[in-house]
Chains A and B, each alone.
Chain A
Amino acid sequence: MKKLALIALLALFSVSAFAQGYKVGDKAIDFKLKNVNGKTVSLADYKSAKGFIVVFTCNHCPYAKAYESRIMDLDKVYSAKGYPVIAINPNDPTTYPEDSFDNMKKRSSEKKYTFPYLVDDTQAITKAYGATKTPHVFVLEKTLNGNIVEYIGAIDNDTEGGDANKIKYVENAVNALLMNKKPETTMTKAVGCGIKWKSI
């Protein structure tokens, strides 16, 4: 009986640890994921980067589509400043064939992505980061102690677009980091498409 309770407790603990993922201030692990060009990409490849805008996104999700051009703009502006966009597709393509590797290749070449679009085949990185939906952004700052999570959440507070007074959360966070400041807003939420997990 005691053993059972212990197992239950352990199960509960691992579930909650899994559900939480990173918090602001945590060190993010590096990865080695396959890009649409067939090569693998790691954060360590970016020797001169000051940090990263890691975006969990995908092809099929209407909210990801709504943000696609804004993700492209982020890379155009911030890659040169030392914060490149790294896009990761976390979805199991058996649920959404539109999210298959071939369709990722198609999408990125049609839209002329200037950033890598990686596939997280095992979903291990998605789980480690704690991404739950697309799009879901993690802004990392490269430090001597590794890549530290400085912002988690939405790109801005205007998914549909068109609001001139929108708050650009990611831009604000990166701008602050570029001035050696901490972002004012470090966590936001947005409605998104739940990530499709592979059945174990």
Chain B
Amino acid sequence: MKRGALAIGLIFYTVLSHAQQVKPVKYEKLHQLINAITDTTYVINFWATWCAPCVKELPNFIELQKQYKADKLKVLLVSMDFRSKLETSVEPFVEKRNIPLEVYLLDEKDQGSVIDKIDESWSGALPGTLIINNNQSYRKFYERDFTYDELQQAYLSSKK
């Protein structure tokens, strides 16, 4: 039993320490993720380390994942920082703040070309958040920042 607890502890440890890595992704990979048919609700936040309102609302996304950990909910962060800033800005930022979420960096030189593909209503202003549940055909993009209450409302309205 103790050994089992230890094993679980180790798994958690591995998951947590891995979670701090920032994975560069091409749009294609993100597209597969966004369009995967699953009953998991994805809350995907587009942000950047230099974007003050983005940084301010990040704890709300961490909190959402924490509060609804029993739900089929996955909160992802997608950094729109330049690829050249991955090691110098984004990874140190994520590490320093101990962000327990999966963090990606959109590795596209021409970021503008993928904005419409992520959501046509998005002008490209940061921050932006996409909430999707493909099993429920639910998809909503928010070009705005959130307080925790507002984010919670946005998430809960995807479940109605």
Q: Are A194 and B126 in contact (CB under 8 A)?
A: yes
Residues of A within 8 A of B48 (CB): 62, 191
Residues of B within 8 A of A96 (CB): 52
Residues of B within 8 A of A163 (CB): 109
Q: Bound state CA distance, A132 and B145, in angstroms? A: 14
Q: Bound state CA distance, A193 and B84, in angstroms? A: 19
Q: Bound state CA distance, A132 and B51, in angstroms? A: 15
Residue A157 is within 8 A (CB to CB) of chain B in the complex: yes
Residue A70 is within 8 A (CB to CB) of chain B in the complex: no
Residues of A within 8 A of B84 (CB): 160
Residue B5 is within 8 A (CB to CB) of chain A in the complex: no
Residue B112 is within 8 A (CB to CB) of chain A in the complex: yes
| Number of B interface residues in the complex (CB < 8 A) | 24
Residues of A within 8 A of B126 (CB): 133, 191-194
Q: Are B125 and A192 in contact (CB under 8 A)?
A: yes
Q: Are A191 and B111 in contact (CB under 8 A)?
A: yes
Residue B123 is within 8 A (CB to CB) of chain A in the complex: yes
| Number of A interface residues in the complex (CB < 8 A) | 22
Q: Are B127 and A154 in contact (CB under 8 A)?
A: no
Q: Are B113 and A157 in contact (CB under 8 A)?
A: yes
Residues of A within 8 A of B52 (CB): 95-96
Give the interface SS of chain B, mostly helix, strand, loop or mixed: loop
Output the least CB separation between A34 and chain B (Å): 25
**For chain B residues 92-128, which have a beta carbon within 8 Å of chain A?**
109-113, 115-116, 122-127
Query: A191: which of B53, B116, B124, B145 is its contact (CB, 8 Å)?
Result: B124
Q: Are A132 and B112 in contact (CB under 8 A)?
A: no
**For chain A residues 59-104, which have a beta carbon within 8 Å of chain B?**
62, 95-96
Output the least CB separation between A190 and chain B (Å): 4
Nearest A residue to B121 via CB reads A19
Query: B112: which of A95, A188, A194 is its contact (CB, 8 Å)?
Result: A188
Output the least CB separation between A58 and chain B (Å): 12
Residue B143 is within 8 A (CB to CB) of chain A in the complex: yes
Output the least CB separation between B96 and chain A (Å): 19
Residue B80 is within 8 A (CB to CB) of chain A in the complex: yes
Residues of B within 8 A of A195 (CB): 125
Residue B12 is within 8 A (CB to CB) of chain A in the complex: no
Residue B27 is within 8 A (CB to CB) of chain A in the complex: no
Residue A168 is within 8 A (CB to CB) of chain B in the complex: no
Output the least CB separation between B5 and chain A (Å): 45
B residues in contact (CB < 8 Å) with A: 48, 50-53, 80, 82, 84, 109-113, 115-116, 122-127, 143-145
Give 9 nearest A-B pairs by CB, closest first. A194-B125, A133-B125, A132-B123, A190-B112, A189-B115, A62-B50, A157-B110, A189-B124, A160-B82
- A-B contact list, 30 entries, CB within 8 Å: A62-B48, A62-B50, A95-B52, A132-B123, A132-B124, A132-B125, A133-B126, A154-B112, A157-B112, A160-B82, A160-B84, A163-B109, A188-B112, A189-B116, A189-B123, A189-B124, A190-B115, A191-B48, A191-B111, A191-B112, A191-B125, A191-B126, A192-B123, A192-B124, A192-B126, A194-B51, A194-B53, A194-B125, A194-B126, A196-B53
Inter-chain pairs besides A190-B124, A194-B126, 19 sampled, C-beta below 8 Å: A62-B50, A132-B123, A133-B125, A157-B110, A159-B82, A160-B82, A163-B109, A189-B115, A189-B116, A191-B48, A191-B80, A191-B111, A191-B125, A191-B126, A192-B126, A193-B125, A194-B51, A194-B125, A194-B145
